[in-house]
């Protein structure tokens, strides 16, 4: 049968989509490097790495060959009481790369569940030690996922509205907007002084779904330092920011002298190939669960925990990520973003332009208040699709977060399309 799009409309319910209003989905038949290729052979530059997951380009032959070999060796096995080489090898390779002194890897299957594990780890860490700490702290505007624990530590918003009454209480502190960082730090310290905080969870340096909002590394450093001063755990949700997106391997690497206690990973972990989540923690946290009392066990898991295919994809992606050529590409993308940001900084259509590593965000003046439901969002989305570029604005915030394989010419093609948008806004 042909025409994937027509068949899709009869059987599929898409995420984050008002199905009554949305046009038919574009049927993709192939991925190739930076391109997604549809049924009519149109080639779209995937300038957002398919929701920030794709690091090295679509259908990368090295990852494909690695997975093919693993498929013929071991496709899956239970991970309670059993283990396997890909899971152990990936943990061995990840731990030295992570910020701080991470000592243990707990596998799950996506970013939301990596966060769920982190929250349960932090809460039970204090419970096992009979510390009586129950408060969770998060930043206003946060987005940590769509499961109930992850929603609870996310800002109350369009995404959570139907479920707000079911979410557990969290103390939110102001986002550290440039020039207002002290408000954030003072609010955090005031809460920490009550000595009941179990953990602070943050997206380090960049809040993604909130509109690619960015803050300074010095603030990240001070928030983590305050947590440690008052005996509160710091959880870094590096699901989006990990694996080079902010210029360093992990965003927390830009906060020297401190490190989180727990790190959450997913998205780029497998190069965007298959789902996998990781929650890493320090030895101190791990040891709080060691006991002759079975009630101190972390009772969490998934049927596909540490799936060997996913772990193999993670190993293959790390091979590519740590090669000198990838480091050069990351630096080149960041440099190109810096240059074009200077070119655009005086554009009248811009409210703000911000950049962190390979992430470039443009907050546009669309004549409305802005926000996720900005009236011009759909116009902008289709403006770029017509030019065979996938950019998916967060309301009035247009952002670029491309695969590392993008060439200077392809990047310039995206920049030129944005120039065209400025002309019609």
Catalytic residue among 16, 30, 69, 164: 16
Complete edge-to-edge strand list for the sheet that includes strand 397-400: 350-356, 359-364, 397-400
Please identify which residue in the block is written with the tokens 């009979």.
Answer: 130
d(CA 117, CA 320): 28
Q: Is 206 left (phi over 0), alpha (psi -120 to 50) or beta?
A: beta
Please identify which residue in the block is written with the tokens 């799009």.
Answer: 5
Catalytic-residue membership of 143: yes
How far is the CA of 355 from the CAs of 213, 291, 391, in angstroms?
10, 46, 16
d(CA 406, CA 56): 9
Select from 322, 308, 414, 340 the least CA-distant residue to 77: 308
Would you report the helix, strand and coil content of the chain in percent, each value rounded to 5? 40, 20, 45
How far is the CA of 292 from the CAs of 125, 246, 295, 297, 372, in angstroms?
16, 43, 9, 10, 50
Catalytic residue among 237, 253, 261, 374: 237
Catalytic residue among 109, 215, 267, 404: 267
Catalytic-residue membership of 237: yes
The answer to whether 175 and 207 have CB atoms below 8 angstroms apart is yes
DSSP string, 141-196: T----SSHHHHHTSPSSTTTGGGGGGSPP-EEE----TT-HHHHHHHHHHHHTTS-
Q: Cα angle vertex 238, ends 236, 240, to 5°?
A: 145
Residue burial 147-183, b: 16+ Cβ < 10 Å; e: rest:
eebbbbbbbbbebbeeeeeebeebbbbbbbeeeebee
Catalytic residue among 44, 66, 125, 143: 143
The answer to whether 377 and 396 have CB atoms below 8 angstroms apart is yes
Q: Which residues are catalytic?
A: 16, 143, 237, 267
């Amino acid at each position: 049968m042909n025409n994937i799009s027509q068949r899709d409309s009869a059987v599929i319910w898409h995420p984050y989509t008002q199905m009554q209003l949305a046009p038919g989905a574009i049927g993709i038949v192939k991925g190739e490097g930076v391109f997604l290729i549809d049924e009519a052979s149109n080639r779209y530059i995937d300038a957002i790495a398919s929701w920030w997951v794709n690091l090295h380009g679509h259908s990368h032959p090295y990852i494909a060959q690695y997975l093919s070999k693993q498929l013929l060796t071991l496709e899956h096995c239970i991970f309670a009481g059993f283990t396997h080489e890909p899971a152990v090898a990936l943990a061995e390779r990840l731990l030295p790369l992570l910020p701080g002194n991470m000592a243990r890897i707990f596998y799950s299957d996506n970013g939301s569940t990596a966060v769920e594990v982190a929250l349960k780890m932090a809460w039970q860490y204090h419970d096992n030690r009979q510390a009586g700490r129950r408060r969770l702290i998060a930043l206003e505007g946060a987005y940590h996922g769509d499961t109930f624990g992850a929603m609870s530590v996310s800002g109350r918003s369009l995404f959570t509205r139907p479920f707000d009454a079911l979410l557990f209480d969290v103390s939110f502190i102001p986002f550290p907007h440039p020039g207002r960082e002290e408000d954030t730090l003072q609010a955090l310290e005031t809460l920490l002084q009550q000595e009941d905080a179990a953990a602070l969870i943050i997206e380090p340096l960049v809040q993604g779904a909130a509109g690619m909002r960015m803050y300074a590394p010095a603030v990240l450093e001070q928030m983590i330092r305050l947590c440690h001063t008052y005996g509160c755990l710091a959880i870094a949700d590096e699901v989006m920011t990990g694996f080079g997106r902010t210029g360093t391997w992990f965003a927390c690497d830009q906060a020297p002298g401190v490190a989180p206690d727990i790190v959450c990973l997913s998205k780029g972990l497998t190069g965007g190939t298959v789902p996998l989540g990781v929650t890493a923690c320090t030895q101190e946290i791990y040891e709080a669960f060691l006991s002759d009392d079975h009630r101190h066990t972390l009772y969490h898991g998934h049927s596909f925990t540490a799936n060997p295919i996913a772990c193999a994809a993670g190993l293959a992606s790390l091979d590519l990520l740590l090669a000198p050529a990838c480091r050069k590409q990351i630096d080149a993308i960041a440099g190109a973003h810096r240059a074009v940001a200077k070119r655009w900084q005086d554009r009248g259509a811009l409210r703000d332009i911000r950049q962190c590593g390979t992430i470039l965000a443009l907050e546009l003046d669309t004549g409305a208040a802005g926000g996720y439901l900005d009236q011009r969002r759909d116009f902008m989305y289709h403006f770029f699709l017509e030019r065979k570029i996938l950019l998916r604005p967060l309301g009035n915030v247009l952002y670029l977060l491309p695969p590392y394989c993008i060439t200077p010419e392809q990047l310039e093609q995206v920049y030129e399309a944005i120039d065209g948008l400025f002309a019609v806004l």
